[in-house]
Chain A
Amino acid sequence: MLVAILAIAALAAFFGILLGYSAIRFRVEGDPIADQIDALLPQTQCGQCGHPGCRPYAEALAKGEEEINKCLPGGEALVLALADLLGREPVAMDIKEKIPSVAFIEPEDCIGCTRCIQACPVDAIIGAAKQLHAVINSECTGCELCVEPCPVACIQMRPIQEDIQRWRWPYPARQPVESDSAAPLRDAA
């Protein structure tokens, strides 16, 4: 009987300590709002928002320390989505949206210094020291972070070629004139 009680008590103590330890050791870092914001950001990791990547910008937004119109790659669509999520007023983007591009390394000029590899936030450049480097187009986010570090200036940004898979029907040019009073009953709901 005593043995049993002791054994149970020992087990209870053991698990208690284990739980206490894991609560500290494996604490889940993060903030659900920041996660939601991060899910909306384009993940280009370009730093044009003034933060060292998308996640830090998301955290700043979550704390309410930032404007919602800082992300250039996200553009107007992102401003609207953020305004929706955070219940803020949409703010105009002050700079024009960029043409989607990917980096291109001029094979003749690359000296294989690996600096672009170090700069690329998404490991979209392959190559080893003193070997020719190349960009994996499908992975490049067009952040331009690799352009500046290149000592021989052999990286250029090239606009993504329009192809059939990527093509979209344009917004109709023949716009009817609609007065606002005729708008559908969308806000009645």
Chain B
Amino acid sequence: MVIALKPKSSPERRLWRFHGGIHIPDEKALSNGRAIERAPLAARLWVPLQQHIGAPGRPLIAVGDSVLKGQMIAEPTGFISAPVHAPTSGRVVAIEPHPVPHPSGLSAPCALIEPDGAETWAELPPPLADYPQLDPALIRERIRWAGVVGMGGASFPTSVKLTPGTDREIHTLIINGAECEPYITCDDRLMRERAAHILEGVRIMHHLLRVRTVLIGIEDNKPEAIAAMQLALAETDMGGYTEIVTIPTLYPSGGEKQLIRILTGKEVPTSGIPAQIGIVCQNVSTAAAVADAVLEGRPLIARVVTVTGHAIAEPRNLEVPVGTPIEHLIAQCGGYRETPRKLICGGPMMGFELRESTTPITKSTNCLLALAPAEAPDPEPALACIRCGRCAEVCPAKLLPQQLYWNARAKDLDRVQDYNLFDCIECGCCAQVCPSHIPLVQYYRYAKTEIWAREQEKRKSEQARARHAAKQARLERQEQEKQARLRKQKEALAAKPAAAADGDDAKKVLIEAARQRAAERKRSDAAGQD
């Protein structure tokens, strides 16, 4: 198979198709017409102390502390971990659980910061403009320090992804500018307005990974972004290895494995990661954050969020500090035009519903979507599966959604894994086309978390078994020691009379000894009186 990895931009570059996918109204025009605006500071910021996948950070602040903008407030605790920085200067008035953007709607530890409005920066590390001459480890350490995580939604620490293993070579870096999900336009606006900055970040990542090729994939419904990126690329010296590739608009082309397939024709193995086939994928926003960290010494404390949906009066993209409550963002966009039926974090396909208006945005929140009743009609009643097979036709992961559904529904957690449940990217294509309106993805999500919970329980009972066995062993040992002690005492008692005199029993001997001692004393007393 010939893989078209020609370094020069070529209009006839071969593209591949991933399996399935669907066309859905993109609704991007709602919010992509206005430039990114910087939102004014909210009165209170709830900054979640963990905003990444991996080991939770350790808080470095206490209630009552003053913090400066960019000051680290939680430090990483492992290799796969990331710090959190104060998004503005102010005072920490509480550290307590607060609702965070998560499908559960549950709370997690957050620092409540009251801004002082001065925006006083903490002392920042020096810019590393000469990074091509520096040790890559130093640059990675800087990216780690800045708390950069995947901003496309996965929130995996970026410094880890930019540390290639020694066992396999990474040859291609893919920059994800597809932004395939309807409504979301933050990456589109970022590419239009800050293309040069994004490319700086790409250049740094290229330097760290030492890849041969960089492919920047952008869907063809974003012609302005493509033009801006091409213009910016022409002004750099990166043209030798970088190519901006226009890809057809088809949901979900922005899925990591799907984009890799489109651009390289390669398949990431089942339950594998792209690095296994020599590819690393990064989002355009993440590239910009990497440039901030390395070239300006700035941590990741703000991001661009799309606030959109027909229920929002003036949809647009806002640049906001992490920790800003969503109600503040909605107020900045003119509030609601009508009462929303649903408030969603992320897009309409892969996002999840938010319940609290004080939920803060995090490093990975790309969109806040307020759907009007007309956009989010009540789901039609689910009917029986007619086994039409349409779900399998559109599944971009090449799964058998109806089999997954049957087994998840029957709670057969072993069998559902036999059908590669964990390759499902929860894109929702299957549910979208299902003529029976079965909420298929809900079944897959249920089955996934149930399997994880069961594994956790299993680990816990292994642990309990070991501890129980250890306790039994300890008790047995103690019992044996006690027996041994008792035996020794008995032996000692038995030995004494034998040594003393004529086989008399111990008591007699003792009494005799005491009597002798008394007699002795009497005698000596008498002698002394003389």
B403 at the interface (CB under 8 A from A): yes
Picked from A42, A121, A174, A175, the residue with its CB within 8 Å of the CB of B461 is A42
Question: Which one, B2-10, B467-475, B483-491, is touching chain A?
Answer: B467-475
Cα A45 to Cα B402 in complex, Å, equals 40
A69 at the interface (CB under 8 A from B): no
Closest to B438 in A: A176
Interface size classification for chain A? 35 or more
A168 touches B385 (CB 8 A): no
For B465, the chain A residues whose CB sits under 8 A away are: 38, 43, 54
The A151-189 residues at the B interface (CB cut-off 8 A) are: 162-164, 166-172, 174-179, 182-184, 186
B461 touches A139 (CB 8 A): no
A182 touches B106 (CB 8 A): no
**4 new A-B contacts at CB < 8 Å, known A43-B461, A44-B461, A122-B467:** A123-B471, A141-B464, A169-B449, A170-B446
Cα A169 to Cα B383 in complex, Å, equals 22
Q: Which residues of B contact A (CB under 8 A)?
A: 100, 102-104, 106, 108, 379, 381-385, 387, 402-403, 406-407, 409, 411, 415, 436, 438-439, 442-443, 445-446, 448-450, 452-454, 456-457, 460-465, 467-468, 470-471
By secondary structure, the B interface counts as: helix
B106 touches A164 (CB 8 A): yes
Closest to B443 in A: A172
A164 touches B439 (CB 8 A): no
A135 at the interface (CB under 8 A from B): no
Cα A24 to Cα B445 in complex, Å, equals 53
By secondary structure, the A interface counts as: loop
Cα A86 to Cα B382 in complex, Å, equals 37
For B463, the chain A residues whose CB sits under 8 A away are: 139
For A177, the chain B residues whose CB sits under 8 A away are: 383-384
The A116-153 residues at the B interface (CB cut-off 8 A) are: 120-124, 139, 141
- Considering residues B402, B452, B464, B465, which has the most beta carbons from chain A within 10 angstroms of its beta carbon? B464
Cα A97 to Cα B406 in complex, Å, equals 26
For A179, the chain B residues whose CB sits under 8 A away are: 384
B439 touches A172 (CB 8 A): yes
A176 touches B382 (CB 8 A): yes
A123-B470, A172-B443 known; A163 vs B382 contact (CB < 8 Å)? no
What is the minimal beta-carbon distance from A143 to any residue of chain B, in angstroms?
9
What is the minimal beta-carbon distance from B369 to any residue of chain A, in angstroms?
20
A164-B108, A168-B453, A176-B383 known; A123 vs B442 contact (CB < 8 Å)? no
Cα A55 to Cα B464 in complex, Å, equals 12
For B462, the chain A residues whose CB sits under 8 A away are: 43
For A123, the chain B residues whose CB sits under 8 A away are: 467, 470-471
For B445, the chain A residues whose CB sits under 8 A away are: 169
A175 touches B108 (CB 8 A): no
A90 at the interface (CB under 8 A from B): no
Cα A170 to Cα B130 in complex, Å, equals 52
A174 touches B103 (CB 8 A): no
Cα A170 to Cα B446 in complex, Å, equals 6
B439 touches A163 (CB 8 A): no
Cα A182 to Cα B383 in complex, Å, equals 12
Picked from B108, B381, B453, B467, the residue with its CB within 8 Å of the CB of A166 is B453
A41 at the interface (CB under 8 A from B): yes
For A47, the chain B residues whose CB sits under 8 A away are: none
Picked from A120, A166, A169, A174, the residue with its CB within 8 Å of the CB of B448 is A169
For B411, the chain A residues whose CB sits under 8 A away are: 171
A53 at the interface (CB under 8 A from B): yes
Cα A177 to Cα B383 in complex, Å, equals 6
What is the minimal beta-carbon distance from B33 to any residue of chain A, in angstroms?
36
